[in-house]
Structures are given as structure tokens and as C-alpha cells.
Structure 1
């Protein structure tokens, strides 16, 4: 039987309109160079994805992990990075081979009710991510200039116009802008580490896996949720389609190879930034006994007296702004891809960006007005835990799609990769269910609060039911395809 991969070249759901407002795709077929020249033609999509792995939400979880538990959670960061590499390569494979992104493939596979639930969860994940970016940028502006955080939150509306301008310049210019912001963030933390002078022997011990208690687990899940973000899986599978490739077996293999190189470089840079934040917090705060440092403002204030340098807090604020600005661009683009993929609804790009930003600004402003700025870092951590809870609903369909030989042909992932993917999905589901169980146990240990207990039980049952549906429908579709093939009359 011939490979079905070429059947999708004219599929009506080929490439999102949300990418068409970036006026041109990048032609990799015209690059005659070998080696690094060929790689450079594919460099870009993974960098747009990688900024989500170092956004302000990551800062909050990494900072608390280092300040409270020292170097103990570095292995969680490494595990998250390895999981991210595997999953993002799966996303690139889906986009390159099927010429569909994850949202489009879901809409084609699941019934309307399940699709609607998956769409709502994807939008919640994007809103949670954008919330972290808004808060991070506002806090960064406050630390650098003294402008009140509330005003900083409102100012972040303006960066939607920056995204509009960058998209008019084209995909390559946008990618270069993002890479520049990543470089600022990475360089800032490299200098911070040189100033902090961490004990490398102790840092190495943090790479050894250890058992986690409930408090460590909560931060660890926040780290995983902040690193392996659901919206990045949708985004990457769409962005790789901005590269024009030869739709031959050799051309597709080449595209998969160079996209894997792109992902490896970009995500390892993101791992360096996350590890640098955690190591900085552990070497400066944990070792000095300041384990109660739990927010970005405290960290910024204490860096100068503890490191004896005025440069340290300035670099911290600049890196925070750069990380927030870069990640908000990609988060908004992911929102367009998710809406158009699930709903086939094409909204004016500027209007979509403004809606995404307002969804993030409303809870941020509400928390500031009601509880004050002291609760913002708790909101940051909570947003990352929400992201982690959404992960299974993006990972499960993704593994099914790239494992499907009917759709992917010879480019379906190998059996050992499938097993590894399912082990990762099982681990993430287990960690999330364990965390939810722990939080509910705390809730039920108190007197009263019957309404919250009912909501918690209903939420858990709904979560499990949707997990079962997400697993079952692709299995049923694959079984039906196999039956259809075996029932075909023989040809003579």
C-alpha cells in the first residue's frame, strides 16, 4: 500500500490563515548550500516555541524551587527539557508530514462535544500562559523604572501592535526579533551566574533524581507545566509549515532532520535559562538562609546586597522584560492557530490578539485591586499548574497522530518512541492526579466548605471522563481504518 502522506498536500485544512498574515513562507528548496546553510534555512520555528519555555511563569516556579529546595529540583528541569524535545519533534513531524497542525488534526478526529472541550482547555492554557507573561512584563517594568505594576499590566496591551508590525515584516524578521530577545535573556543570566559563583559540585547533585514531598511536588509540577506548555504543541506543528519543502521522501526526511536540529539547539538554550534561574536562586537565597524568597520583587531587591553588585538586579529586570515580551508574541499567535484549527473560525488577527490579551489582563488587574501586588506570584505559580493539568489533552492526541501509519505512512514514529511517549503521558497524568488528590485531601480535611468539595469531586470526574474520551476516540478511528482496509475486495 502506498504512503498516504502525499494525500494531504491538497487537504482543505492545509495551513492556517493565521500564518498567512505573515506575508511569505520561507523557501528552503532554493537553498543549494550544504551543511550549516541548509540548517539556517530551517532555523526559526523552534526558537518561537522555546520562548514559552523561559517565560515569566517559568521564572516564578524556578525561583521558588531554588530558594526553597536548593538544587534538588534541577533534575525536574532536565526531565522537562527531555520531554519537551521529544514532544516538539513529534509536533514538527505532524506538521511536516501531514501538513496539519494539532488543532486541525483533532477537529478531523474527535466528535464536536469532545472537540469543544479540548478547544476550551487549549484556550484556558493560552490564557494562563498569557497571564504569566503579562504579570512578568509588568513586574519587570516596575523593577526597572518604578512604574506601578497595575499601570505596567495595562501597558502590555500595546505589545499586540508590536506583534502586528512584526508579522507585516514577515516570518523571518519576527524570528530574528525573538532570537534577539532570547539572546538578551541568556546573556543576562550568564553574567548573573558569574557574579553568584555557585558551587558546581552541589549543582551536579541536583541532577540526581530524588523522592518529592507534597510541597516539592507542587513546585515540580509547576516547573513541568511551565516548561512543556500545551499551546507550544499547537504552535510548533503550525510554524514548521512556513517552510516550503520538496514533497518527496527525501525532502520530507531532510525537513524532519533539520527541524530536529532546530528544536535541539533552541530548547537546550531554554534549559540553560531555566537552570540558571534555579541555580541563581539556590546559590544566592537558599544557601544564605533566605528560603522564604517567593516572588520576583524580593529576588530583585535582595540580589544587590547578597551579590554586592548593582548590575545584578538591573540585568534581572531587563531579562524579565525580554522574556515576557518574546513569549507574549508566540502565545498570541498560538491563540489564532487554536481558534482556527478547532472552530474553523477566521477572526481579524488584531481583534484576536486584543481578546487574548484582555482575557489575561482582567484576572491580573482583579487580583491587584482585590488582594494587592503581594499575591501576584501565587497567581503566577497557579497559572503554571493549570498549564500542566492541560498537558495530557494535547499529548495524547499528538502521540496517536504521529503513530498512525495510515496517515503518516513510513514517517510514523517507531515503536520504541511510541512506548516512550506513552510512558511520558502516563507520568504526567500520574503527577497531576497525585497533586489534585493531595490538594483535595487538604480541602476535605477542613470542616465545612461543602460547596467547594462538590466542585472538586465534579471537576475530578470531568477530568477523568475527558481523559478517557481523548484516549478512546483515536483508538476507535484506527480500528475502523484497519477494518476498512481488511474488508476491501481483493484485486486480481
Structure 2
């Protein structure tokens, strides 16, 4: 039993890190708002999204592992430059706004635990810590650190222990989709999709797979070492499905606890994760409040490097720079400079009057819309024999990918139409 557990833990890597960083402070705020506004009506999303997000991330991981290049690097090599620059620009803008919202959420959570920050030290300290971790730690050390920090995400499962859960009713709302054709519901559904199936995650996981392969002298891009394919694909599946299961379980418990506490007590508008923590305290108790706040900080420490790092990978691969976390700072100055600049610009949004809540909502919806063309690009790469050789994605995986793209496209389209001609 011990050997099996040890072997399982060895499979955990980029997929788990990607999964836990998916539940970042902006995602927490979005899921909390979904539960506060609609009660248990969106619980079904956590179950329904699991095969979709897991399938998409498995495709991303396979592309990196098979080709030996990240998403942006493959687009640069095989597709028009206009597509590459569009992808890089849109991911950069979306991620920088998301970084700003996440740092704001973490700083506010620190205030709840450590006291007021009159000098606005917290946002800058968080950004400098994230930059230093990405710049000065080796990939192996940083990867191990992220796995341990990722355990903080289970704080949100623990919060359910402080409320009475009607499991029969919860099962009904989880197993049967409940959809409303209203502006608020469709916008929230698009935001939940966008914060769960986010474009930066495609870039991040494909690039981390390349990093892992380069870090091990016994591993090679699968296309040039076909005998490694079975073991590597099994590792990718175990790793990715574990990470995405964590994402969806945490999403489920955040929606559930906010539905059973905030929504049930008439608190229907939560505009930030820290506001949710404050609202939770008188309902579920001080310890639940502290768990929520700690979870915000822990997931933010994962998410900010992921967001900034995915910009670094996208820009570095686009311009053929030395790119990767195992490079020393002096070996990849431009790569690390992009990461630092993106993080500092995002941090600056908290000092220049940008409304973090509007930025958060806008980012979630933008991600929901942006994911559609990027999913199409991801699937095109996965089918491209010039990139994948004999290891193009299987039919079942492709079907899941296209279903995901179609559903996200439909949700985004209905949301945009409703902005012009409201449904209700």
C-alpha cells in the first residue's frame, strides 16, 4: 500500500499545481458570488465541468510533453504570426488584470488576519515574494513548494464542517442542471466557466510539462522517444485528473457553503473574497472565517506566479527567448523581466484607483470569451501531425475538447447578446 501511495505521489506535478492554482482569489470570489446569489442552483457546474476541464488540460499537457514546446512556441512554429501575437496580447492583458485582483484579495485577507495595512505594504510584499520565488528558486524546488502550498486549498472543504448540510437536496442540485435564461445567471455561468477553464492554464501546464521533461535527463519529447509515451501519458492523466478533481471539489464546497450561509441569510451580493470571509464569520463562526481567509492567501501564492509565469512563457516563446524556470536569472533576463513587469503592473492596479471588483468580473467574463478561440487553437495543434506526429489526440479527447469549446462559445454568445437585448 505504501509503495502504491509513493508511486501515486510521484505522478503528481504540473497537473496538480495547475488545478490548485485554478482556484485563485478571483475564482473564490466568483464561486462565492454564485452561491450567495443563486443558492444551490449552480452546484451542478462543479460536477459537469470536471470532465471538460480535465480533458482540456490533458490536451494541453500532451502538447507540451509530445512536442517539447509550449502552446505559444507551437503556434509560432506552425501558424500565422498574427494568431500568435493576438494570443500573447490577450493573455497578457487578462492575466495582468487578474494578478491585480488576486493581489488585492490577498492583501485584504492579510488585513483580516494580521491587522490594517495603512502603508499599503501588503500588496507590494506579495508581489515581490512571488517574483523572487519564480526568479531565484530552481524549477524542482519551486514545484515542490507549490505542491505543499496547494494543500491550503482544502481549507474550503473544512468550512463545510461548520454548517448543517441537507445532503439530499444538495445531491439533487448537483446531479440535475438548473439553468435560468436571465442576464444575471448567464453572466455568472460565463464567469464561472471563464475562471475555471482559463486560457492561462493552457499555456502554464503545457510549459510546465516541457520544464519537467527538460529537468530529467532520462526523459525526452515523446515524439522523438515513442517508447516513453505509455508511461508519460499515464502520468499526465493521473496528475491532471487529480488536479482538476481538486479544482472542482473546492468549487463545489465554496458554492455549497456560501449557499448555506450567505444566501440562506439574505446576503446575495458578494463582491470580493474578503467580503465573503467577513460575512461568513457571524454565520459560521470565527474559525470558518479564518479558514476562508487563509485559503485566499494560500491559493493566491499559487495563482500569482502561475498568472505571471504564463505571460513569461507566452512572450518568451513568441520571441524565441531563453525561456524556463530552470534558467538562472542572468541566463533568461528577458523572460524573468516580463514576469516581474507583469506582476508589478498588476500590483499597481491596486494603487491607481482601478476598481478590483469590476476588474475581477471583467476578467472572468473575458476569460470565458477568450477561451473559445484558444480552445480551437489548442485542438488544432492537438490534431496537427506536423507537431504531434503519431501522437495526435485521441477521438474521445477531441470530442470532449470540442464540446467544451461549443458550450463556452454558446454561453459567451448568450451573455453578449443579453447585454444588447436582455432576456429578462
TM-score above 0.5: yes
Partner of 1:340: 316
Larger relative contact order (Cα-Cα within 8 Å, sequence gap ≥ 6): 2
For the Cα contact (< 8 Å) 1:47–1:178, is it kept in 2? no
Moved more, 61-70 or 190-199: 190-199
The reply on whether 1:59 has 2:28 as its aligned counterpart is yes
The reply on whether 1:262 has 2:219 as its aligned counterpart is no
The reply on whether 1:407 has 2:415 as its aligned counterpart is no
Partner of 1:153: 123
The reply on whether 1:132 has 2:112 as its aligned counterpart is no
For the Cα contact (< 8 Å) 1:70–1:281, is it kept in 2? yes
Task: Tell me the CA shift for residue 36 of structure 1.
Answer: 5.1
Partner of 1:198: 165
Distance in 2, matches of 1:377 and 1:129, equals: 10
Partner of 2:326: none
CA, structure 1 residues 413+197, in 2 after alignment: closer, same or farther (shift >3 Å)?
Answer: same
Partner of 1:329: 305
Moved more, 106-115 or 52-61: 106-115
Q: Indicate which of 62, 68, 77 corresponds to 1:93.
A: 62
The reply on whether 1:315 has 2:284 as its aligned counterpart is no
RMSD, matched Cα: 2.4
CA, structure 1 residues 80+364, in 2 after alignment: closer, same or farther (shift >3 Å)?
Answer: farther
Unmatched 5+ stretches in structure 1: 1-32, 369-374, 443-492
For the Cα contact (< 8 Å) 1:67–1:291, is it kept in 2? yes
Query: Displaced runs of 4+ in structure 1, greater than 4 A?
Result: 33-39
Instruction: Map Cα deviations across residues 65-99 of structure 1 (whole Å, 9 max, x no partner).
Output: 00010111122233333221001100111111111
Task: Tell me the CA shift for residue 350 of structure 1.
Answer: 4.0
Partner of 1:301: 278
Distance in 2, matches of 1:37 and 1:303, equals: 38
Q: Indicate which of 377, 383, 386 corresponds to 2:357.
A: 377
CA, structure 1 residues 160+296, in 2 after alignment: closer, same or farther (shift >3 Å)?
Answer: closer
CA, structure 1 residues 406+431, in 2 after alignment: closer, same or farther (shift >3 Å)?
Answer: same
| Greater radius of gyration (CA) | 1
TM-score of the superposed pair, with normalisation by structure 1: 0.76
Moved more, 231-240 or 243-252: 243-252
For the Cα contact (< 8 Å) 1:125–1:230, is it kept in 2? no
TM-score of the superposed pair, with normalisation by structure 2: 0.88
CA, structure 1 residues 407+190, in 2 after alignment: closer, same or farther (shift >3 Å)?
Answer: closer
For the Cα contact (< 8 Å) 1:125–1:390, is it kept in 2? no
CA, structure 1 residues 162+197, in 2 after alignment: closer, same or farther (shift >3 Å)?
Answer: farther
Distance in 2, matches of 1:367 and 1:216, equals: 28
Partner of 1:182: 150
Q: Work out the number of aligned pairs and report it.
A: 401
For the Cα contact (< 8 Å) 1:102–1:237, is it kept in 2? yes
CA, structure 1 residues 318+58, in 2 after alignment: closer, same or farther (shift >3 Å)?
Answer: same
Write the mapping of 1:412-427 to structure 2, written as runs, cut at 5 A: 412-427=392-407
Partner of 2:327: none
The reply on whether 1:434 has 2:414 as its aligned counterpart is yes
CA, structure 1 residues 151+205, in 2 after alignment: closer, same or farther (shift >3 Å)?
Answer: farther
Distance in 1, matches of 2:226 and 2:409, equals: 36
Task: Tell me the CA shift for residue 253 of structure 1.
Answer: 1.8
Distance in 2, matches of 1:378 and 1:407, equals: 39
Partner of 2:74: 105
Instruction: Map Cα deviations across residues 414-454 of structure 1 (whole Å, 9 max, x no partner).
Output: 23432332222122112112211212336xxxxxxxxxxxx
Partner of 1:353: 339
SS in 1 for 2:99: helix
CA, structure 1 residues 317+416, in 2 after alignment: closer, same or farther (shift >3 Å)?
Answer: closer
Task: Tell me the CA shift for residue 408 of structure 1.
Answer: 2.2
